[in-house]
Amino acid sequence: MTDQTQNPPAIATGAQSTVKASRGGMLGLTANDFRLFLIVLVITFLAPFILNPFPEGSALAQFNAGYPDLMQRFVIFGIFAIGFNILFGLTGYLSFGHAAFLGVGSYGAIWMMKLLTLNVIPAIIMAIIVAGIFALMVGYVSLRRSGIYFSILTLAFAQMSYALAYSVLTPITGGETGLQIKNTDRPLLSNIQDGEIGRANLFGLEMRSSFELELGAWLFTFNAGYYIAAVVMLLAFYMSIRLFRSPFGMMLRAVKSNQQRMNYTGLNSKPYTLAAFVISGMYAGLAGGLMVAMDTQVGPERMFWTASGEVVLMAILGGAGTLIGPVLGAGFIKYMENIISKINSTILHEWFFWLPDGLENFVVALIYPFIGKGWHLTLGIMFMAVVIFLPGGLVEGGQRIAGWIKNRRGSGDGPDKDPEHHPKQAPHVGE
C-alpha cells in the first residue's frame, strides 16, 4: 500500500475507518452488524417474556403476543420477508408471486412427512429444494423482462400455480381441502401405530411440546416449535447479513442502480438476478417448510396472490433493502393482524367508558370500522401512509427519530461533525 503513505492525513483516516469497520465484530460480521445480530438474537430468545408484558387476566392481556402459534408466525414470516428482501431490496425486482414458492415448499415438506419421516429436518430441506427448483424455472422465464413486466409475469406464474393446485393437481395437493397428516399416513422411517396421527418432531421432540412458567400473575410459554423456528430464522438472518455485505450483495445493488454500467463493466447481470431470485425463492420455501413443521397442513390459499402482496407489504413496511426491516415488518404486520382483529366493540366501550356517554358512542363508532374484521382497512391505510410518507419504512422512521433526538441534544454544544466534508454519507445498509 505505497499510495496510502503518500496520502494527506485526512485521507488516511478515511482509510483507517474502513479497516476499523471490518474489525471488532465476530462471526465474520462487522461490529455494527454483529450488534444488530446480537440484538435480534436476544429478542428472539426472550420473546416469550418480551411479548407477554401484561399479567394474565388483566385488561391488557389481549395485547400479549407471547403464545406459541403467533410467535411461530412472527419468525416464519420473518424468514419469508428476509428472503423477499434479498430480491426486492437489493435488485429492485418486484415479484408479485412469491407466495407460490412458499406454497410449493409447503407441499414438498408435507409429502416428505407423509412418506418418509415425521422428523422436520428432511421436510424442511425438501421444501427448500423444491422451492429452489421452482424458482429457478419461474425466474429463468420471468427475468427475461424487467419492470412491471417482471411483476406481472411472476404474478401470472403464481396465479397459475394456485389455479393448478386448486384443480388439476388435486392428487398431489389435495385441492381445496389441502393436505394434512392423517391417521392413515405411514412414514417409512417413523414408527406410527395404527390409527395414530403422526406428529411433527425433531428427533423425538414434538413441535407442539411446551414448557410453561408461572411467575406471579404472569404465564410464559416456551414452545419447542417456536425455538426451532427461531433458530432457523436466526440462521437465515445471519446468512442474509453475510449476503448483503458480500461482493454478491454489492453486485445485486449494482443491478438495481445501473444495469447499463454493470454490463459495460464486464458483468453479466442476468445470472446475478437469477441467483438472487432463486435464493429468495429458497427462503420462501424454507418458510413454507417451517409452516408445515409447526402446523402439519397445507392449502392452496397459501399461494394466492394476496399472500404474495402480504410479503411485499412486510418488506416495504419494515424498510426494503435494509437488513432488519423485513423482520420488523413481518412482526409488526402479524402482531397488528392478531391484536387488532381480536378487538371488538365491547372492548372499545370498556376502553372509553370514562368518556361521557354520547362521546363514548361516537368515538367507538369512529374506531369500530378499523378493528376486528376491519383489520385489512387499517392495514391498507398503514401501508399507503408508509409508501407516501416513509418510503424507507419503519427503519427509516426509526432513523429519523434517532436523528431528531441527536439534533436536539447536539444543537447546544458539541462540535459539528464537519458537514461540509461529508455532504452526503452513504446510509449504512441495515441500520
Partner 1 sequence: MGILEVKGVNKRFGGLQALGDVNLSVQEKSVHAIIGPNGAGKSTLLNCLIGKLIPDTGSVMFDGKSVLGRKPHEICQMGISRVFQTPEIFGDLTVFENVMIPCFAKRDGAFRLHAIETVMSEKDIVEQAEAMLSEVSMLDKRHMLASSLSRGDKRRLEMAMCLVQQPRLLLLDEPTAGMARADTNNTIDLLKEIHEKRDITMAIIEHDMHVVFSLAQRITVLAQGSPLVEDTPANIKGHPKVREAYLGETA
Partner 2 sequence: MDGFILQILNGLDKGSAYALIALGLTLIFGTLGVVNFAHGALFMIGAFCAVTLNRLLTLSYVTEDPSRTDFLGNPAKVETPYVVDWFGESVGLAMIDWVVPLAILFSIPIMVAVGLIMERGLIKHFYKRPHADQILVTFGLAIVLQEIIKYYYGANPIPTPAPEAFVGTFDFGAMLGFEPFTILYPYWRLVYFVFAVILIGAVFAFLQFTTFGMVVRAGMADRETVGLLGINIDRRFTLMFALAAVVAGLAGVMYTPIISPNYHMGMDFLVLSFVVVVVGGMGSLPGAVAAGFLLGILESFASMPVAISIIPGINQIIIYLVAIVILLTRPRGLMGRKGVMEE
Binding site for partner 1 (CB under 8 A): 1, 3-4, 6-7, 10-11, 14-15, 17-18, 21-22, 28-30, 242-243, 245-251, 253-254, 256-258, 260-269, 271-272, 275, 279, 421-426
167 binds, among partner 1, partner 2, none (CB under 5 to 8 A by kind): partner 2
Look up residue 408 and give its amino acid: R
Cell of 407: 439534533
As given in the structure block, the three cell numbers for residue 368 are: 369500530
| C-beta contacts of 38-45 below 8 A and 24+ residues apart | 40/234, 40/237, 40/324, 40/327, 41/234, 44/75, 44/230, 44/233, 44/234, 45/227, 45/230
Work out whether 175 is an interface residue with partner 2 (CB under 8 A): no
Contacting partner 2 (CB under 8 A), which of 129, 164, 205, 239? 164
Backbone angles phi, psi at 219, to 5 degrees: -125, 120
Number of C-beta neighbours around residue 71 at 10 A: 26
Q: Tell which residue, 66, 8, 97, 7, has the closest CA to residue 312.
A: 97
Q: Work out whether 160 is an interface residue with partner 2 (CB under 8 A).
A: yes
Least separation in angstroms between CB 175 and partner 2:
11
Residue type, 402: A
Q: How far is the CB of 159 from partner 2 (least distance, A)?
A: 6
Q: How many CB atoms lie under 10 A from the CB of residue 190?
A: 15
Residue 11 CA: distances (Å) to CA of 17, 19, 68, 310: 10, 13, 53, 46
- Interface with partner 2, residue 217, by CB under 8 A: no
Minimal distance in Å, beta carbon 122 to partner 1? 25
Site for partner 2 in 296-355 (CB under 8 A): 305-306, 309, 312, 316
CB under 5 to 8 A by kind: which of partner 1, partner 2, none does 119 bind? none
Residue with cell 440462521: 235
For residue 271, how many other CB atoms are within 10 A of its CB?
11
Q: Kindly tell me which residue out of 55, 122, 374, 397 binds partner 2, with binding defined by CB under 8 A.
A: 374
Q: For residue 408, with 0-12 CB atoms within 10 Å meaning exposed, 13-18 middle and 19 or more buried, which class applies? A: exposed
Task: Please list every residue from 219 through 278 that binds partner 2, using CB under 8 A.
Answer: 259
Shortest Å distance, C-beta 85 to partner 2: 13
CA dihedral 52, 56, 61, 62 (to 10 degrees): 100
243 binds, among partner 1, partner 2, none (CB under 5 to 8 A by kind): partner 1
Q: Residue 376 interacts with partner 2 (CB under 8 A)?
A: yes
Nearer to partner 1, 269 or 338 (CB): 269
Q: How far is the CB of 223 from partner 2 (least distance, A)?
A: 32
Residue 220's H or E segment, with its range, is strand 218-223
Site for partner 2 in 57-96 (CB under 8 A): 92, 94
When CB distances are held under 5 to 8 angstroms depending on the partner's kind, the choice from partner 1, partner 2, none that residue 26 binds is: none
Residue ranges binding partner 2 (CB under 8 A): 92, 94, 141, 144-149, 151-153, 155-157, 159-160, 163-164, 166-169, 259, 305-306, 309, 312, 316, 369, 374, 376-377, 379-381, 383-384, 387-388, 391
